[in-house]
Amino acid sequence: MSTIIKKPDIKTLLEFPKIKFTGISLKDVTELIKKNNIIALHTTNTLRVFHNLDSVDLSKRRVIYIDCSSSLALLGKGEWDFYIKKAIPKVIELSQESKLRDTIRQQTQVPNKRFFKINS
């Protein structure tokens, strides 16, 4: 997997299909990954990033940040990751040491980003 990290440029902001939610958060997250979005499940202290891409160029992909503060258990190992990996066998979870994960955590070099919150 290769990673290209570029500084955001107004010219790199892309139009993406509208995000539609069904109210079933796990299904929504899985479908968003299948549609080649990068998903960042997070709280103030934790971040888990999933995608199913062969290579990642942040100027051409959308990163969807989902605040899981109201449902902290979703970020534990064996919760959603089990179902995500079952639904998308080639899904990749970025490791703690990943530069891409760090860039997504910092958000400053992520031009195409959207923020949502899971309501419990």
Sequential pLDDT tens for the chain (120 residues): 444 444 444 445 568 888 888 888 889 999 999 999 999 999 988 999 999 999 999 999 999 999 998 887 778 787 788 899 999 999 999 999 999 999 999 999 999 999 999 875
Tokens 């509208």 locate to: 18
In this prediction, residue 120 carries a pLDDT of 53
In the block, tokens 């960042």 appear at 40
Structural domain total, the chain:
1
Question: Chain-wide mean pLDDT for the chain?
Answer: 86
Domain span at 85? 2-117
pLDDT at 93: 95
d(CA 62, CA 68): 19
Tens of pLDDT along 12-30? Answer: 556 888 888 888 888 999 9
